[in-house]
């Protein structure tokens, strides 16, 4: 057989000069991306993986067989029932934000498979679309088994179809990043920042923890998905290089914007799992340590190599690694009924661990958990509402997540007035992103706006229904407040 | 008239929507926010309310200090 | 026990609860995958506006796009397993070429003919890949996104198999098919086809795009460059190519099957849809006929009109989908 490199370029470099239509008609700027560059500029585009179709279906069918074998062996309800309840709830959070977001990425990749400016790019993007279809279908097939055991797993599919506040935030991100971004922005936001910048957190971090927790199914799923990401993520680098060469300001903007938006997403999804929902005995590193080891250094290095500066908010970002996910978790714990998964209450041992890992900032959070614990003690187990907030919370007009920026000492929220409307942001970077492209964001109605305009109910119980939650679904404390240590330390 | 404000209590992890009447006093606003955040932050006996770093007179009303819908206020509470 | 305790009688996803049978893997993993179709997007971007506008302006409308099903019920797993089998088979064929000195036995006359096809054809097949990807990204049902994405992948398979075979022949015959791009861009024979592909690339109203692609152009293109070419290869003593083309033709058979199911679904949902599809067919048939015309004589044999057989195939597809045929 011929070696791949002997023939593949014949099938990868297939752009031609149009005669019957204009190039700008075939690749309109609004859907191909900016800056609009001529075909000539793109013709040396390349990526290193250069996978052929034959190799693709061969490797992927093997990977599929292997995931299905693990599913047959350890993917039954009984297998999941063995796991620690907090771990299971981390799984629910991940599953819900994964499946339909991956399918959204099928759409984004298909757009690139049509409007990417070089045929090799389009071909890799098409394989990317197939990969993302895989990543949508695997969790749907695995988690479907679990619905009859625990209906919260239904949100693996349902989540993005709901009015839940996390779903609104999720869609706000996924819509812009995956479904409605042009191929150039997609290449920077998804391929470069998300897939090469952040997914190591999932691959190395979460799969290590899944391994430690004995969850072979999740470990297998994450690892298998990552091997696909590693391939199609290669699109990011060469596209970004072209943008840098022709419009360095835009390149820097796209990187800065997407690093921040992706950071907030991972802080919630992965931060919750690593520092709160993974049982203490299975934790290998803190979220912060994983960020430092697997995200920061690599990201800084690749920016440097490309001649880009660190995002202007870098110091704020470094500070946020110590605080943001703790802010959101404590807040969400006390609004857990507004979610579809259950929350673990950090006990004395967990708090000692968090104190060690976050020596500088944990003293600001510890009193909060002390207060929540005291209220559990007062109410006794099973009385969820006594450790639950009732006042509406606030949402950032960019990321749509709760206003948990800064620290308990000083929340970093900012209010601005534009025309007749006030907007609030959780942080300076969110405000900056909004003000850089207001036409994208200013029409959006956050949950508070919906409540004030009567579109959503203000009463918490009714609001839960608006969030598509019912008593059997909404989030609770994983132990219903029945923690052995709570009794012990009381005496 | 009801006035929704973005309230931030020092020591807390999240901003809350505090709904007050424009005839309510600033000290009532502080009490409302402390109460709303009490699941996480134990209410304290003395509280001051700030708008952009400016300390607001606890005896004045919302209307008198000119707070309007969706303004940010910060509450710093302590036991004395 | 009480409100907070978890109890469930639920057995499947929220939207499949009414299903009368146990949901299949296809049901579980391909239903309601697009969440935005009824609610729109949370942000306004140019590409997003484009997508929503094309969806809204498409004359094809049904009450629920979710009801469309791929008759093969293709999931990712099924697809990769199926295609891997086919690729193993084709690899075997191509390996036998290396092992048997096969290419030395190809006649100069056949090589000259094949040279004028294998070089340029990579460009239109890549175009067909792009067009399928376009419809896939705009499709209002997740299942349609999936069928289009996999069809686009099949086009990639075809392009790469042609490219491989081309290079393989060049080892024995270095001058073989050296000017594919030039032929594609300049050879009068290919120009009507190039015009059709370029025009279809900028046909952005997706109902028309998918009709012109899967009901008009592709059935004709596939009939010529897979079925007819396979016959010609066989007559020319190139049985390996005949077999490779037969394997590629299997892919296109599925393209016609799911397209037929799609059109039948649209027409069943609303008879008005038939009118639109019919009008697009009428618009694209002359363009398609012109595109294939220069190639007909290449494939003709005594007593058999290629034009007639292509039209027969198209007519069969249209009639089985519930549309009207067109006379040859």
Q: How confident is the model at residue C3 (pLDDT cuts 50, 70, 90)?
A: very low
Angle between helices A4-12 and C142-172 (to 10 degrees): 130
Residue in A475, A433, A415 with CA at minimum distance from that of residue A172: A433
Q: How far apart are CA A188 and CA A228, in angstroms?
A: 18
- What residues of A are in contact with residue C76 (Cβ under 8 Å)? 60, 64, 130, 133-134, 137
CB contact at 8 A, A292 and A348: no
Q: How confident is the model at residue C6 (pLDDT cuts 50, 70, 90)?
A: very low
- What residues of C are in contact with residue A17 (Cβ under 8 Å)? 185
Q: How confident is the model at residue C8 (pLDDT cuts 50, 70, 90)?
A: low
- What residues of A are in contact with residue B11 (Cβ under 8 Å)? 364, 367-368, 408-409
B and C adjacent (3 or more CB pairs under 8 angstroms): no
The answer to whether residue C39 sits within a structural domain is no
Residue A394 DSSP symbol: -
Q: How far apart are CA C142 and CA C28, in angstroms?
A: 12
- What residues of B are in contact with residue A452 (Cβ under 8 Å)? 4, 69
pLDDT at A203 exceeding the cut of 90? no
Reading the block at residue A89, the tokens are 């709830």
Q: Does C29 touch chain A (CB under 8 A)?
A: yes
DSSP assignment of C67-112 equals: G---TT---HHHHHHHHHHHHHHHHHHHHHHHHHTGGGGS-HHHHH
Select from B16, B17, B39 the Cβ nearest to the Cβ of A375.
B39
Please answer yes or no on whether A394 and B13 come within 8 Å at the CB atom.
no
Work out whether strand B16-21 and strand B46-51 pair parallel, antiparallel, or are unpaired: unpaired
pLDDT at A375 exceeding the cut of 60? yes
pLDDT at A471 exceeding the cut of 70? yes
pLDDT at A487 exceeding the cut of 90? no
Q: How confident is the model at residue A228 (pLDDT cuts 50, 70, 90)?
A: very high
List, in order, residues 6 or more apart from A202 with CB less than 8 Å away: A222, A226, A270
Select from C48, C146, C167 the Cβ nearest to the Cβ of A6.
C167
Please answer yes or no on whether A7 and C166 come within 8 Å at the CB atom.
yes
Q: How far apart are CA A384 and CA C289, in angstroms?
A: 71
Supply the pTM of this predicted model: 0.97
Q: How far apart are CA C103 and CA C176, in angstroms?
A: 11
What would you report as the CA-atom Rg of chain C, rounded to the nearest whole angstrom?
A: 22
The answer to whether residue C12 sits within a structural domain is no
Q: How far apart are CA C23 and CA C34, in angstroms?
A: 19
**CB < 8 Å from A in window 9-68 of B:** 10-18, 36-42
Instruction: Name which of A362, A376, A408 to mutate to probe chain B: the one with the most chain B Cβ atoms within 10 A of its Cβ.
Output: A408
What would you report as the CA-atom Rg of chain B, rounded to the nearest whole angstrom?
A: 11
Please answer yes or no on whether A389 and B39 come within 8 Å at the CB atom.
yes
Name the percent of chain C lying above pLDDT 70: 97
Q: How far apart are CA A450 and CA A466, in angstroms?
A: 11
Select from A11, A68, A107 the Cβ nearest to the Cβ of C163.
A11
Sign of torsion over alpha carbons A263, A267, A268, A270: positive
Q: What is the mean pLDDT of residues A436-445?
A: 97
What was the pLDDT predicted at C327? 76
pLDDT tens-digit series, residues C238-280: 999 999 999 999 999 999 999 999 999 999 999 999 999 999 9
Q: Does B70 touch chain A (CB under 8 A)?
A: yes
Least confident of A78-82, C103-107, C252-256, C316-320: A78-82
Q: What is the mean pLDDT of chain A?
A: 95
What was the pLDDT predicted at A197? 85
A and C adjacent (3 or more CB pairs under 8 angstroms): yes
Distance (Å) from the C-alpha of residue B29 to the closest C-alpha of chain A? 13
Select from C28, C77, C198 the Cβ nearest to the Cβ of A18.
C198
Please answer yes or no on whether B13 and A331 come within 8 Å at the CB atom.
yes
CB contact at 8 A, A166 and A95: no
- Tally of domains within chain C: 1
Reading the block at residue A195, the tokens are 């897939």
Please answer yes or no on whether B12 and A371 come within 8 Å at the CB atom.
no
List, in order, residues 6 or more apart from A217 with CB less than 8 Å away: A70, A71, A74, A75, A79, A80, A142
What was the pLDDT predicted at C2? 39
The answer to whether residue C237 sits within a structural domain is yes
pLDDT tens-digit series, residues A401-438: 999 999 999 999 999 999 999 999 999 999 999 999 99
pLDDT tens-digit series, residues A32-78: 999 999 999 999 999 999 999 999 999 999 999 999 999 999 999 99
Select from C48, C84, C184 the Cβ nearest to the Cβ of A179.
C48
The answer to whether residue C249 sits within a structural domain is yes
What was the pLDDT predicted at A204? 83
Domain that holds residue C85: 71-320
Work out whether strand B72-78 and strand B2-9 pair parallel, antiparallel, or are unpaired: parallel
pLDDT tens-digit series, residues A105-139: 999 999 999 999 999 999 999 999 999 999 999 99
Residue ranges of chain A whose CB lies within 8 Å of a chain B CB: 326-328, 330-331, 334, 364-365, 367-368, 371-372, 374-375, 386-394, 402-404, 408-411, 413-415, 422, 424, 448, 451-452
SS3 of chain B: the string is: CEEEEEEEECCCCCCEEEEEECCCEHHHHHHHHHHHCCCCCCCCCEEEEEECCEEECCCCEHHHHCCCCCCEEEEEEECC
pLDDT tens-digit series, residues A181-202: 999 999 999 999 999 888 888 7
Please answer yes or no on whether B39 and A387 come within 8 Å at the CB atom.
yes
What was the pLDDT predicted at C20? 86
**CB < 8 Å from A in window 124-163 of C:** 126, 129-131, 133-134, 136-137, 142, 145-146, 148-150, 152-153, 156-157, 159-160, 162-163
Select from A327, A364, A372 the Cβ nearest to the Cβ of B14.
A327
Residues, chain B: 80
pLDDT at C212 exceeding the cut of 80? yes
Backbone angles phi, psi at A402, to 5 degrees: -65, 155
Comparing alpha-carbon positions, the chain C residue that sits nearest to A26 is: C202
- What residues of A are in contact with residue C115 (Cβ under 8 Å)? none
List chains touching B (3+ CB pairs under 8 A): A
Task: Measure CA C147 to chain center.
Answer: 9
- Domains with residue ranges and CATH for chain A: 50-297 (1.10.620.20)
pLDDT at C301 exceeding the cut of 90? no
Q: What is the mean pLDDT of residues C122-141?
A: 98
Distance (Å) from the C-alpha of residue A455 to the closest C-alpha of chain B? 16
Q: How far apart are CA A303 and CA C179, in angstroms?
A: 41
Paired residues of B17 in beta bridges: B6
Instruction: Name which of A403, A446, A456 to mutate to probe chain B: the one with the most chain B Cβ atoms within 10 A of its Cβ.
Output: A403
DSSP assignment of C296-311 equals: HHHH-BTTB-HHHHHH
The answer to whether residue C217 sits within a structural domain is yes
What was the pLDDT predicted at C328? 62
Paired residues of A406 in beta bridges: A411
Reading the block at residue A187, the tokens are 């290449």
Residue C15 DSSP symbol: G
Q: What is the CATH number of the domain that holds C154?
A: 1.10.620.20
Distance (Å) from the C-alpha of residue A424 to the closest C-alpha of chain B? 8
**CB < 8 Å from A in window 48-107 of C:** 48-51, 75-77, 79-81, 83-84, 87-88, 90-91, 94-95, 98
DSSP assignment of A344-376 equals: PPP-HHHHHHHHHHTTTTHHHHHHHHHHHHHHH
Select from A19, A149, A480 the Cβ nearest to the Cβ of C4.
A480
A424, containing H or E segment? strand A421-425
Q: What is the mean pLDDT of residues A233-253?
A: 97
Please answer yes or no on whether A141 and C25 come within 8 Å at the CB atom.
yes
Q: What is the mean pLDDT of residues B34-62?
A: 97
Work out whether strand B54-56 and strand B16-21 pair parallel, antiparallel, or are unpaired: unpaired
- A449, A451, A455, A458 alpha-carbon torsion, rounded to 10°: 170
Q: What is the mean pLDDT of residues C66-81?
A: 97
Name the percent of chain B lying above pLDDT 70: 100
Cα separation values, C287 from C127, C212, C324, Å? 16, 10, 19
Q: What is the mean pLDDT of chain C?
A: 95
Residue A422 DSSP symbol: E
Homologous superfamily in CATH for domain B2-78: TmoB-like (3.10.20.270)
A425, containing H or E segment? strand A421-425
Q: What is the mean pLDDT of residues C76-92?
A: 98
Please answer yes or no on whether C137 and A114 come within 8 Å at the CB atom.
yes
Please answer yes or no on whether A330 and B13 come within 8 Å at the CB atom.
yes
Reading the block at residue A101, the tokens are 């977001």
Select from B40, B70, B71 the Cβ nearest to the Cβ of A330.
B40
- What residues of A are in contact with residue C153 (Cβ under 8 Å)? 53, 126-127, 130
Select from A17, A60, A113 the Cβ nearest to the Cβ of C185.
A17
pLDDT at C7 exceeding the cut of 60? no
Residue A468 DSSP symbol: T
- What residues of C are in contact with residue A106 (Cβ under 8 Å)? 136, 145-146, 149
Q: What is the mean pLDDT of residues A445-471?
A: 94
- What residues of C are in contact with residue A439 (Cβ under 8 Å)? 44
pLDDT at C119 exceeding the cut of 50? yes
- The domain segmentation of chain B, as residue ranges, is 2-78
What value of ipTM does the predicted structure carry? 0.97
CB contact at 8 A, A390 and A460: yes
Q: How far apart are CA B51 and CA B34, in angstroms?
A: 16
Q: How confident is the model at residue A491 (pLDDT cuts 50, 70, 90)?
A: very low
């Amino acid at each position: 057989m011929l070696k791949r490199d002997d023939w593949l370029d014949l099938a990868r470099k297939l752009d031609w000069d149009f005669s019957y239509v204009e190039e700008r008609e075939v690749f309109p700027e609004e859907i191909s991306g900016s800056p609009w560059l001529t075909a000539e500029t793109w013709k040396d585009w390349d990526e290193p993986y250069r996978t052929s179709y034959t190799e693709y279906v061969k490797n992927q069918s093997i990977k599929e067989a292997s995931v299905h074998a693990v599913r047959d062996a350890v993917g039954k309800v009984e297998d999941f029932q063995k796991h620690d309840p907090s771990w299971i709830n981390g799984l629910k959070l991940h599953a819900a934000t994964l499946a339909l977001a991956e399918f959204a990425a099928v759409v984004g990749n298909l757009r690139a498979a049509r409007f990417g400016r070089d045929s090799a790019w389009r071909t890799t993007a098409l394989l990317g679309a197939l990969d993302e279809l895989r990543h949508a279908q695997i969790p749907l097939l695995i988690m479907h088994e679990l619905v009859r055991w625990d209906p919260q797993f239904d949100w693996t599919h349902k989540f993005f179809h709901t009015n839940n506040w996390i779903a609104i935030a999720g869609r706000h991100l996924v819509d812009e990043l995956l479904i409605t971004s042009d191929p150039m922005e997609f290449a920077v936001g998804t391929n470069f920042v998300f897939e090469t910048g952040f997914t190591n957190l999932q691959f190395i971090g979460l799969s290590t923890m899944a391994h430690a927790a004995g969850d072979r199914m999740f470990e297998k799923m994450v690892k298998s998905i990552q091997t696909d990401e590693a391939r199609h993520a290669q699109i990011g680098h060469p596209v970004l290089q072209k943008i840098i060469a022709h419009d360095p300001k835009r390149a820097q903007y796209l990187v800065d914007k997407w690093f921040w938006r992706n950071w907030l997403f991972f802080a919630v999804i992965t931060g919750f799992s690593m520092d709160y929902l993974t049982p203490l005995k299975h934790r290998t590193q803190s979220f912060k340590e994983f960020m430092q080891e697997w995200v920061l250094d690599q990201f800084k290095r690749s920016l440097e190599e490309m001649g880009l500066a660190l995002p202007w908010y870098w110091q704020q970002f470094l500070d946020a690694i110590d605080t943001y996910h703790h802010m959101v978790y404590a807040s969400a714990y006390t609004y857990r009924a507004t979610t579809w998964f259950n929350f673990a209450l950090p006990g004395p041992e967990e708090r000692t661990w968090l104190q060690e890992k976050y020596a500088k900032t944990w003293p600001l959070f510890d009193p909060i958990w002390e207060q929540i614990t005291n209220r559990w003690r007062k109410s006794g187990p099973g009385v969820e509402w006594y450790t639950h907030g009732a006042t509406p919370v606030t949402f950032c007009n960019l990321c749509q997540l709760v206003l948990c920026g800064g620290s308990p000492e000083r929340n970093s929220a900012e209010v601005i007035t534009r025309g007749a409307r006030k907007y609030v942001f959780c942080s300076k970077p969110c405000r900056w992103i909004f003000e850089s492209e207001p036409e994208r964001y200013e029409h959006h109605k956050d949950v508070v706006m919906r409540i004030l305009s009567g579109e959503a109910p203000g009463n918490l119980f009714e609001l839960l229904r608006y969030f598509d939650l019912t008593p059997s679904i909404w989030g609770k404390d994983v132990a219903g407040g029945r923690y052995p240590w709570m009794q012990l330390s009381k005496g | 008239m009801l006035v929704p404000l973005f309230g931030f209590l020092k020591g807390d992890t999240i901003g809350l929507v505090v709904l007050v009447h424009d005839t309510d006093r600033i000290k009532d606003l502080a009490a409302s926010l402390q109460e709303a955040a009490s699941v996480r932050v134990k209410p304290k006996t003395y509280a001051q309310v700030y708008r952009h770093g400016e300390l607001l007179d606890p005896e004045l009303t919302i209307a008198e200090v000119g707070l309007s819908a969706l303004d940010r206020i910060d509450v710093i509470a302590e036991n004395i | 026990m009480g409100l907070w305790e978890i109890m469930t009688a639920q057995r499947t996803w929220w939207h499949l609860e009414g299903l009368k049978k146990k949901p299949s893997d296809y049901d579980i993993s391909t239903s309601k995958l697009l969440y935005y179709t009824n609610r729109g997007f949370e942000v306004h971007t140019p590409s997003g506006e484009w997508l929503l506008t094309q969806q809204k302006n498409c004359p094809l409308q049904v009450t629920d796009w979710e009801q469309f099903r791929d008759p093969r019920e293709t999931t990712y797993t099924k697809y990769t397993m199926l295609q891997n089998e086919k690729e193993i088979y084709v690899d075997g064929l191509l390996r036998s070429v290396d092992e048997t000195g096969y290419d030395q036995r190809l006649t100069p006359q056949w090589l000259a003919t094949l040279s004028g096809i294998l070089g340029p054809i990579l460009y239109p097949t890549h175009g067909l890949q792009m067009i399928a990807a376009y419809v896939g990204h705009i499709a209002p049902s997740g299942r349609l996104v999936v069928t289009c994405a996999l069809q686009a992948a099949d086009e990639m398979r075809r392009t790469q198999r042609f490219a491989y075979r081309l290079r393989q022949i060049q080892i024995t015959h270095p001058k073989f098919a050296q000017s594919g791009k030039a032929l594609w861009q300049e050879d009068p024979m290919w120009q009507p086809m190039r015009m059709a592909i370029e025009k279809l690339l900028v046909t952005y109203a997706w109902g028309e795009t998918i009709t012109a692609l899967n009901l008009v152009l592709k059935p004709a293109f596939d009939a010529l460059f897979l079925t007819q070419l396979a016959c010609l290869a066989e007559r020319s003593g190139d049985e390996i190519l005949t077999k490779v083309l037969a394997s590629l033709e299997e892919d296109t058979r599925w393209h016609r099957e799911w397209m037929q199911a799609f059109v039948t679904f649209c027409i069943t949902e609303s008879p008005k849809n038939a009118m639109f599809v019919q009008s697009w067919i009428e618009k694209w048939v002359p363009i398609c006929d012109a595109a294939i015309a220069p190639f007909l004589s290449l494939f003709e044999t005594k007593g058999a009109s290629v034009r007639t057989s292509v039209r027969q195939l198209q007519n069969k597809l249209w009639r089985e989908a519930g549309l009207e045929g067109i006379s040859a």
